Amino acid sequence: MSSSNKHLLLDSTIFDLQPDGGISRYWFELASNLARRHQDWNITLLADRLTPNKFGRKLLHVTQGAPNVRVHHYTPRQIGRLYGPRLTDEYKHYVWHSSYYRVPTRPNLTAVCTVYDFIYERYASGLQARLHTWKKRKAIFGAAEIVCISEATKRELCALYPDIPAGKCHVTLLGPSASFFPAAARGQAVAPQTSPYVLFVGSRGAYKNFRLAVLALEAVPDHELYIVGGGRLSKAETDMLSSRLPNRYRVFEVPSDEVLRDLYQGAVALAYLSRCEGFGFPPLEAMACGCPVIAMNASSIPEVVGDAAILLSGEDALAVSAAIRAVAEPERRRALIDKGIERAALFSWDKTVDETVAVYERALSR
């Protein structure tokens, strides 16, 4: 380990909670690039020895042998989703940063909390939603400093928790992973598809407007819908697709980044019709790959896409259909692709990591 007196505990509990997903990607990119870029920080990765997901395994692999990184394996306790593992005296005065709203078991750790969104608060109900909100509130009020992944998230945080000083909340926008780039960067074209297709990437909860995407594609003959991630289709989803888009859809449950990149590069467009996002990786990834984006003018999405996408003001299937036809027009398509590539280049993990380290430094100075 480095001789620096700056010590950081990165609590990777998100790898236990989701098999894939945007927060796992965020945590992998943050931790791996931090280890590479800021070797004056001694980093301890807290890792559940039982259930790391693919990003967890990848993080352990890419940081193996790094002089400023060590791994603290633990077996989770019954209440492990609420509180971190028991820590010895060697960790006192470390900076604690949890990937998903856990609080440290030692009172003398300086905590930094990342707030992603307030989708649970908007759309979930029941015991699980109440438990999530209680856990998040505890992490927010226990943090010396707070990272928000968009201005939209910061605005919502300050509105819901007016007792939290705005100066304690810091926006650090995210970046596209290195796997995502336009086809020209590889010096080759994407293999032609049998039919033009539109992408729907991510989960399909009600606020994601999956049904809207299906209805829009129904009105665009000869186009297919490629459904990426989000788990297996439910019976209701399968029935809807069989009725509305018979033989016009394909499912990619857990594609690799390389497969997802190729899908972006070959698509007519990404239909990102979500009502609410903390940040939204798919539009950024799509722009980085030279894929036109059709999205809602809502939440954090305009922060990500700027003027490089077709932004829709309402949830109207005919408007989405018209946008899909519009991106097929050569001039409009070329302009969207060029603007998207330029826009994506404004985001980087180096910038995200540097801004996050500045938050750690600020927390330590307290």
User: In terms of domains, do 80 and 199 share one?
Assistant: no
Domain check: are 316 and 353 in the same one?
Answer: no
Is residue 71 domain-resident? yes
How many structural domains comprise the chain?
2
The confidence score (pLDDT) of residue 185 equals: 61
Specify whether 231 is located in the same domain as 331.
yes
Residues 356 and 318 in one domain: no
pLDDT for the residue numbered 106: 76
Domain boundaries, position 135: 6-175+348-365
Q: Assess if residue 248 is contained within a domain.
A: yes
Is 312 in the same domain as 217?
yes
Q: What is the pLDDT of residue 108?
A: 80
Residue 191 pLDDT: 46
163, 97: one domain: yes
Quote the pLDDT of residue 2: 54
Same domain for 142 and 71: yes
Same domain, 335 and 356: no
Mean pLDDT by 10 residues, the chain (366 residues): 79 89 96 96 87 85 93 72 79 93 85 96 88 94 97 97 96 97 65 79 95 98 95 96 97 94 97 96 98 97 98 97 96 97 98 98 90
pLDDT at 189: 45
Plot region of 299 (φ>0 → left; ψ -120 to 50 → alpha; else → beta) = left
- Is residue 146 one of the residues assigned to a domain? yes
Q: Does one domain contain both 238 and 329?
A: yes
Residue 356 in domain: yes
pTM: 0.93
Question: Looking at residue 75, what is its pLDDT?
Answer: 75
On whether both 202 and 275 belong to a single domain, the answer is yes
Pair 107, 222 in one domain: no
In a domain, 45, yes or no: yes
1 in a domain, yes or no? no
Q: CATH number of the domain at 140, please.
A: 3.40.50.2000
Residues 170 and 258 in one domain: no
